[in-house]
Amino acid sequence: DAGITQSPRHKVTETGTPVTLRCHQTENHRYMYWYRQDPGHGLRLIHYSYGVKDTDKGEVSDGYSVSRSKTEDFLLTLESATSSQTSVYFCAISEEAGDLNSPLHFGNGTRLTVT
Amino acid sequence: TQLLEQSPQFLSIQEGENLTVYCNSSSVFSSLQWYRQEPGEGPVLLVTVVTGGEVKKLKRLTFQFGDARKDSSLHITAAQPGDTGLYLCAGEGNSGYALNFGKGTSLLVTP
């Protein structure tokens, strides 16, 4: 299994509080991604990174920011959590992008509940 | 956004039955990937299909990529309870870096 660790695995927070989710990889892969998974919506891309300090927005980036100061860590921050951000968040990594021999490897997710 | 529509959304069958799930789009994809996700875990890649008309087999699972590279199907023969999970198809997104996923087919196989 690819070495991907997401922390925390579960979190309950109140509306308006800041929250940071961490993704740590031991594979030295260049590309890292944050997705959220919701019933009826499937997996949707929030942000992705194509290198240290190189990030870009996905389709549902509003209310989220990311940082990647080291190859192995990709942080997702909710500056002021809202109930609509209650979801399961998945981090994924890949060695290359658009390479058929370089699939996405996912972490086991963080379940976030905003009350 | 290149949308991927999966059907059916839910499927509940008994052990030993055959089933087919579908992944359709109005867009042409250079390749499509199929993932399976079990409860409490992240998706895991099953297969990548690349060539229009391609058929790939993975034990009891048969994957097909449409001739026009707009659709794909997954056929499971003699389903087993261990096949239970969420099956997701994915294709390249507009960014060229990340994948877009369909909403998935949730399969339950009962003994």
**How far, in Å, CA of A67 to CA of B2, rounded?**
27
Strand partners, B14: B110
What residues are paired with B5 via a beta bridge? B24
- The answer to whether residue A104 neighbours chain B at the CB level (below 8 Å) is yes
| pLDDT tens column, A70-81 | 999 999 999 999
C-alpha B103/C-alpha B94 separation (Å) is: 17
Tracing tokens 């659709």 back to the chain, one arrives at B71
Parallel, antiparallel, or unpaired for β B55-58 and B61-65? antiparallel
Question: pLDDT (tens digit, 0 to 9) for every residue of chain A, 115 residues total?
Answer: 569 999 999 999 999 999 999 999 999 999 999 999 998 888 999 999 999 999 999 999 999 999 999 999 999 999 999 999 999 999 999 987 766 567 899 999 999 999 9
Convert A78-100 into a string of H (helix), E (strand) and C (coil).
ECCCCHHHCEEEEEEEECCCCCC
Asked if A5 and A91 count as a contact pair (C-beta separation under 8 A), the reply is no
CA dihedral (B62, B68, B70, B76) in degrees, to 10, reads -10
Count residue pairs from A and B with Cβ separation < 8 A.
61
Peptide bond into B81 cis (omega under 30): no
Q: Distance between CA A2 and CA A91 in Å, rounded? A: 12
Residue whose structure tokens are 């870096």: B97
Digit-by-digit pLDDT tens for chain B (111 residues) are 568 999 999 999 999 999 999 999 988 988 899 999 999 999 999 999 999 999 999 999 999 999 999 999 999 999 999 999 999 999 987 666 778 899 999 999 999
Candidate from B35, B93, B102 with C-beta closest to A45: B93
Q: Do A100 and B41 touch (CB under 8 A)?
A: no
Q: Which of B68, B61, B7, B58 is nearest to B32 (CA)?
A: B68
Which of B36, B44, B95, B100 to mutate to probe the A interface, most A CBs <10 Å? B95
Q: pLDDT (tens digit, 9 = 90+) per residue, B56-69?
A: 999 999 999 999 99
- Pick from B33, B40, B98: which is nearest to A45 by CB? B98
